[in-house]
Amino acid sequence: MDWRDQKVLVTGADGFVGGWLAKTLADKGAQVVVLVRDEKKYSALDLHDLREKVITIKGDVADYHLIKRILNEHSISFCFHLAAQAIVGIANRSPLSTFETNIKGTWTLLEAIREVNNPHFQGIIVASTDKAYGVHEQLPYTEESELKGLYPYDASKVCADVLARCYAVAYNMPVAVTRKANVYGGGDLNLSRIVPDAIRCLVQGQELLIRSDGTPERDYLYIKDAVAGYIILAENMNKPEVRGQAFNFSSGKPVSVLQLVNVIAKTYGVDIQPKILGQAKNEIDRQFLANGKAKAVLGWAPQYSLDDGMKETVEWYKEHFKKY
């Protein structure tokens, strides 16, 4: 698909994954419109030098009239909906604000697209998460696994996930859903997440800390593989086997928190044993995804191993922390 001159809306483009996605689309020649709620001193828009390459609109994704105006005035043909309150700890402390953004923001966007009814509109990709699956005895999760997420963040993404597929079925809208593993890579400025925080500690000579007991397992997907998944999914939205469907994007290889931190330390070139705090709450012990559907239907597969992705990630943060 030729992205040149496609008019694309990216919500959440000032965040980690959204910033990489907006950069990739702009590099491909798309006319990118980004919706930003809070004006940050430094965000992914600055990180990727996007200020002069995209149209930035300040506002809330839950503002129905604003969304309709953006869709109409910019003749949006594709939408990537990544705007979310994505920090589990904040969701636990402030569920209402999380629900407002993650649930209301999703139905607002979907309903605005339905109401505008642009004949040239080609699709909306809604970002869900592996956490929507909740706790299952049988792993890995497949797209047919029940969505059982019950903690505030998890539940909010279950609702957004179901709403997206509801609009695909009830209104024949070109909608698809991504359920991603934990995404890591250079450009994640949220230092509460384990990868950037661990690298920051190493750069600054601080003690490596693990909030959990070190045993929880996740799969970790490199940012470039995650963005490739979004692009490939959008490029296949015209296929009946894609519309209304959810797709797992993952490495398919579970790694414990302790193993992950050890990979980070090894990649950095040090031999350090982290301090295990055992303080994490409301988090699922084991989560990892099957990615066979994305491989079979979309032809997508991760191109980076954990070692290769972490090598690029560590180098990025070394330069970033040195500079800032």
pLDDT, mean of residues 77-92: 89
Task: Say whether pLDDT at 283 is over 80.
Answer: no
Closest CA to 196 of 32, 20, 286, 318: 318
Q: One of 141, 153, 222, 230 is an active-site residue; which one? A: 153
Q: For this structure, is 184 an active site residue? A: no
**pLDDT recorded at residue 214:** 86
pLDDT tens string 6-24: 999 999 999 999 999 999 9
pLDDT of residue 76: 98
CA gap 89, 152 in Å, rounded: 10
**Residue 287 predicted with pLDDT over 90:** no
pLDDT band at residue 281, thresholds of 50, 70 and 90? low
Query: What mean pLDDT, rounded, does the chain reach?
Result: 93
Going by pLDDT thresholds of 50, 70 and 90, the confidence category of residue 324 is low
Q: In residues, how long is the chain? A: 324
Q: Give the CA radius of gyration of the chain.
A: 19
pLDDT for res 249: 98
Please tell me the distance from the alpha carbon of residue 163 to that of residue 290, in angstroms, as a whole number.
23
Burial classification of residue 64, based on how many CB atoms lie within 10 Å of its CB (0-12 exposed, 13-18 middle, 19 or more buried): middle
- Considering the entire predicted model, what is its pTM? 0.94
Q: How far is the C-alpha of 174 from the C-alpha of 236, rounded, in Å?
A: 10
Q: Which residues contact 15 (CB under 8 A, 6 or more apart)?
A: 43, 44, 82, 83, 86
Closest CA to 317 of 222, 143, 201: 201
